[in-house]
């Protein structure tokens, strides 16, 4: 059997097919849901669609490349990659470098290309944690050691992101780091010690910001200020209710006509439900469940400990983002601005997720 044949036999076709399905579903949804907002903001009804199509193409190139490029080489370079990501997180906070939109400084614009450093930091953090945690494979994990080399670097990245401000991404950093540490066979007592610290930090971040506090109030009672702080979640819930079981039909959404703010971002699932109903939402959620289950299986079947940790990091990134976005749209958690993978508009986020799929395919090939 040739090397090419062996590689083909180890290609996860299901993962590729479900990824293509979600990409196409996302493009159709962006094309359908965003013309009003795109024309209002950019005088181009297809602005968001064309931007998403461009990043889908770039992301596809990254996916293919990383599916063949040995992930072990990237793990070796992890400290450099993470250091670069931290520098970008600092740079985005500097006026004149970081672009400020709606009061948040999260983007850097270079030669007309806008990217979000916090998205790149997600993958850099995953590689860094893999680099560190995999070194503990044959040693007893001591809390003092892991605080210094695992948690403090992650905490630094988290604090920088909170300063943007972007609490949603900060929560993803925490969730991904905790998942990778757990998969890395860490003692349970470390988690028990860390829980009150994390909860306290999140509470401090919420209560120190009137904006975040209003988000929590809107979550607890979506009707308390339907024309103000609760407007977005209130309109999302109206869209969900309007969809019923079968939906109002593709293109027939009323909510996309400037009722839901930033409909192309974290609220796009509401348009999916409104137009495709509960049935369409079930199909989409089912696709995500298949995707995540394949990612878990690849991670479990990795040929070495590094592959297992890296796979767990990428899988947790996709799973946590999906869970948070869907939960926020049905008012199970406060709206956090976390995009729905493959579906929400956002080039940096899409690129990172597709790169993650490429890494998982590479892990599968080397298993």
Return the residue matching tokens 């979000």.
116
Q: For residue 225, what pLDDT is reported?
A: 65
Tokens of 133: 């945690």
Instruction: Spell out the domain ranges in the chain.
Output: 1-68+224-367, 70-208
Report helix, strand or coil for 111.
coil
Q: Express each pLDDT in 6-44 by its tens digit.
A: 555 578 899 999 999 999 999 999 999 999 888 988 899
Choose among 360, 364, 359, 324: nearest CA to 341.
Answer: 324
Q: What is the mean pLDDT of the chain?
A: 87
> How far is Cα 242 from Cα 275, in angstroms, rounded to an integer?
9
0.95 surpassed by pTM: no
What's residue 333's pLDDT?
83
Query: pLDDT tens for residues 155-204?
Result: 999 999 998 888 889 999 999 999 998 888 777 777 777 778 888 888 88
Three-class secondary structure of residue 113 per DSSP: strand
Predicted confidence (pLDDT) at residue 252 exceeds the cutoff of 80 = yes
Contact yes or no for 317/126 (Cβ under 8 A): yes
**In the 8-state DSSP scheme, what is residue 136?**
G
pLDDT at site 112? 67
* Residue 4: pLDDT over 80: no
Residue 36's H or E segment, with its range, is helix 35-42
pLDDT of 90: 93
């Amino acid at each position: 059997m040739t090397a090419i044949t062996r590689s083909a036999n180890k290609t996860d076709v299901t993962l590729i097919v479900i990824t293509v399905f979600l990409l196409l579903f996302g493009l159709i949804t962006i094309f359908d849901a965003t013309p009003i907002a795109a024309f209002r903001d950019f005088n181009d009804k297809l602005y968001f669609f064309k931007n998403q199509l461009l990043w889908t193409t770039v992301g596809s190139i990254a996916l293919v490349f990383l599916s063949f490029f040995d992930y072990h080489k990237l793990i070796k370079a992890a400290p450099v990659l993470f250091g670069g990501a931290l520098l970008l997180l600092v740079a985005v906070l500097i006026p004149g470098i970081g672009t400020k939109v709606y009061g948040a400084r999260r983007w850097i614009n270079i030669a007309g290309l806008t990217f979000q450093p916090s998205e790149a930091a997600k993958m850099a953090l995953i590689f860094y944690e893999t680099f560190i945690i995999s070194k503990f494979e044959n040693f007893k994990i001591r809390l003092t050691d892991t605080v210094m080399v695992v948690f403090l670097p992650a905490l630094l990245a988290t604090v920088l992101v909170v300063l943007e401000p972007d609490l949603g991404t900060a929560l993803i950093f925490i969730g991904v780091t905790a998942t990778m540490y757990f998969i890395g066979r860490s003692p349970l007592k470390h988690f028990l010690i860390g829980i009150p610290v994390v909860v306290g930090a999140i509470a401090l971040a919420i209560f120190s910001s009137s904006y975040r506090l209003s988000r929590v109030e809107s979550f607890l009672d979506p009707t308390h200020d339907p024309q103000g702080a609760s407007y977005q979640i209130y309109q999302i819930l109206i869209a969900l209710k309007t969809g019923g079981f079968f939906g109002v039909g593709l293109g027939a959404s009323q909510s996309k006509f400037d009722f839901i703010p930033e409909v192309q971002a974290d609220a796009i699932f509401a348009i999916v439900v409104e137009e495709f109903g509960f049935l369409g939402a079930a199909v989409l959620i089912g696709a995500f469940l298949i995707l995540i289950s394949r990612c878990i299986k690849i991670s479990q079947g990795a040929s070495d400990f590094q592959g297992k940790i890296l796979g767990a990091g990428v899988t947790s990134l996709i799973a946590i983002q999906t869970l948070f976005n869907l939960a926020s749209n049905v008012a199970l958690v406060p709206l956090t601005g976390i995009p729905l993978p493959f579906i929400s508009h956002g080039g940096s986020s899409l690129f990172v997720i597709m790169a993650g799929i490429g890494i998982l395919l590479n892990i599968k090939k080397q298993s």
